[in-house]
Each structure stands twice: as structure tokens, then as C-alpha cells.
């Protein structure tokens, strides 16, 4: 369970997140919103790349903001990036084994290989990532995210730029993550069909403010959400 209270982030005069209060319970949760709504900023706060002006973030009872950023992976946080960041020079195995984990020796090897096996997509541990296509690189990142007993997985537009059949495979992988690892998974994406296919609950950000949250189907029908996305004129 991830509890965010009164979270505010400012870049100079711009308020990127405006006293956001939100609770992610469990399973796969979506976080959507138009460009510039603050989705990636929110992930950057969780990763520790951005220091908030105020607010608290508690994950499974731990005060996340008090933890140095490089420690958060060992605690169980995983993250993929909007622009895919699989390390080209390394093999698939080394890319996944890169992540901090409390496992050692044979148990760790089995865990890494298990993560590669889980994401599928024709990946094999000894392939060099530099030779892979965009979809497979995304899967390498997701494999890194599910390795080593994760507790909180943040996926930042994992399907960006992928063709439909690869997106469908990725959707099935993401939908299975909570069952496979037990981790709370938060998915940021613009692709509404992906979000509605994968997420049980969804929260919507607009201009740094939370405008809706709840079961995905209900949220996507919400009038305010439609207005944020489609720009319906105010009739007040």
C-alpha cells in the first residue's frame, strides 16, 4: 500500500504537483493524465530524483522520502523509464542482474533467469541488448523490474512506440506482475486501451492536481476526466 499525503513539487515558479493526496492499495493501478500533468514528476519523487517541497510518501509503512535514492531498489522499488534504458553493452542476464537484491548465489541466478523467463518475448539470457529490437528492450526493463522480490513497481509508458502485437504481449506481462511478484504496480501511460486492459483502479492527474480516482471503467467515464483529455468547454 502506497499512501501519498499533501505532496507538492515546484520547479521554480511552476507547481508540478499540487498537494496530491492518493492511496494505491494493491494490484496494478493506472496513473493517467494529459502531457505535463505531473505523472513522471510523481515517479521521480518516488525514485528520489526530485525532492518535493512538502508532503509525505509512505510505502508499506516505510517513509520513502527519508531513504537515499540508490537504497530504494534494495528496499524493493523498481522503475522503468519513458525512454527505454536497457544497457546496450550488457547481456540480457547482466541487465536484469544489475538490480540490487537481497538474494545471493544460486538463488539469485535462478531469480534473474526466472524474471527473464517470465517476460518471455523470445529473450534469452546471453543475448546482447544492443542487438535487440525496441519491444524486446522494453521487456528487458520489465524483467529487471520483476527481479529480486520487488514491492513497488513503477512503469513509465512501457508501451510507448510499440506496435500493437508487442503491446498486447506487454499488457499480458504487466497484468500478471502482481500475481507473479506480489508487488504493487503503478502504470503510467497514454494508451487508454492498455490502461483499461491492465489496471483495476486508475487515478487521473491534471495540472498537478488529482481530479479522479477509482475503478478504471468508472474513472474513464468520468465527466471531468473527459474534459481534461478532450477539452470540453466549461458550462458554469
Partner 1 sequence: MAGVGTKGRAEQTVAGQRFGLLRRPERPVHLGVTVALVLFALFGLPPLMSGYYTGYASLVAIYSIVTLGLGLLVGRVGLYSLGQGAVLQIGAWTGARLLFATGQPFPLVIIEAGLVTMLIGTAIGLPAIRLRGLYLALITLMFAGTITVILATVNFPNGGGGFTGYNGQQSRIPPIRRPSIAGTDIAYYRFAVVVAVLMFLLVYAHVRMRPGRAWAAIRQSEPAALAAGINTTFYKLWAWALASFITGIAGGVLAGQARYLYSINFTTQDSIILLAVALMGGVYNMWGAVIAALLMQLLPAFLQNLGLSYAWLTILFGVGVLQVLTTAPAGIADQFPKDMKKLGGRIMKLVRHA
Strand partners of residue 3: 23, 58
**Does 108 participate in binding partner 1 (rule CB under 8 A)?**
no
Residue from 176, 197, 207, 209 touching partner 1 (CB under 8 A): that is: 176
Residue from 13, 66, 89, 165 touching partner 1 (CB under 8 A): that is: 89
CB-nearer residue toward partner 1: 65 or 87? 87
Binding to partner 1 in span 197-236, by CB under 8 A: none
Binding to partner 1 in span 113-172, by CB under 8 A: 113-114, 117-122, 124-126, 139, 144, 169, 172
Residue from 6, 11, 53, 71 touching partner 1 (CB under 8 A): that is: 71
* Interatomic CA distance for residues 159 and 112, integer angstroms: 22
* Interatomic CA distance for residues 80 and 100, integer angstroms: 15
Q: Positive or negative, the Cα torsion across 57, 216, 35, 85? A: positive
The separation between the first and the last C-alpha atoms of the chain, rounded to the nearest angstrom, is 37
CB-nearer residue toward partner 1: 163 or 215? 163
Q: Kindly tell me the burial class for residue 109, based on how many C-beta atoms sit within 10 Å of its own C-beta (0-12, 13-18, 19 or more).
A: middle
Q: Residue holding cell 486501451? A: 193
Span of 28-36, 103-111, 190-198, 219-227 interacting with partner 1 by CB under 8 A: 103-111
Count, in order, helices (H) and strands (E) of the chain. 9, 10
Residue from 25, 63, 88, 133 touching partner 1 (CB under 8 A): that is: 88
Least distance to partner 1, CB of residue 202, Å: 22
* Interatomic CA distance for residues 175 and 29, integer angstroms: 10
CB-nearer residue toward partner 1: 70 or 233? 70
Beta strand pairing call for 14-24 and 28-32: unpaired
Q: Which residue ranges make up the site for partner 1 (CB under 8 A)? A: 47-49, 69-74, 77-79, 81, 85, 87-90, 93-94, 97-100, 106, 109-110, 113-114, 117-122, 124-126, 139, 144, 169, 172-173, 176, 180
Amino acid at each position: 500500500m502506497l499512501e501519498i499525503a499533501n505532496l507538492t513539487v515546484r520547479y521554480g515558479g511552476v507547481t508540478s504537483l499540487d498537494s496530491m493526496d492518493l492511496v494505491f492499495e494493491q494490484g496494478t493501478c493506472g496513473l493517467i493524465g494529459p502531457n505535463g500533468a505531473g505523472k513522471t514528476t510523481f515517479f521521480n519523487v518516488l525514485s528520489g530524483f526530485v525532492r518535493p517541497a512538502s508532503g509525505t510518501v509512505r510505502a508499506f509503512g516505510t517513509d520513502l522520502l527519508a531513504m537515499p535514492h540508490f537504497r530504494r531498489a534494495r528496499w524493493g522499488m523498481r522503475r522503468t523509464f519513458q525512454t527505454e534504458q536497457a544497457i546496450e553493452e550488457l547481456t540480457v542476464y547482466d541487465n536484469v542482474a544489475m538490480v540490487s537484491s537481497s538474494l545471493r548465489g544460486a538463488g539469485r541466478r535462478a531469480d534473474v533467469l526466472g524474471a527473464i523467463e517470465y517476460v518471455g518475448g523470445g529473450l534469452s539470457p546471453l543475448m546482447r541488448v544492443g542487438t535487440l529490437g525496441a519491444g524486446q528492450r522494453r521487456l528487458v526493463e520489465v524483467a529487471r523490474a520483476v527481479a529480486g522480490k520487488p514491492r513497488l513497481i513503477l512503469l513509465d509508458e512501457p508501451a510507448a512506440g510499440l506496435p500493437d502485437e508487442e503491446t498486447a504481449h506487454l499488457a499480458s506481462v504487466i497484468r500478471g506482475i502482481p500475481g507473479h511478484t506480489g508487488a504493487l504496480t503503478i502504470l503510467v501511460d497514454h494508451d487508454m486501451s492498455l490502461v483499461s486492459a491492465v489496471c483495476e483502479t486508475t487515478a487521473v492527474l491534471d495540472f498537478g492536481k488529482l481530479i479522479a480516482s477509482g475503478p478504471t471503467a468508472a474513472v474513464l467515464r468520468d465527466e471531468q476526466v473527459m474534459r481534461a483529455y478532450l477539452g470540453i468547454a466549461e458550462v458554469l
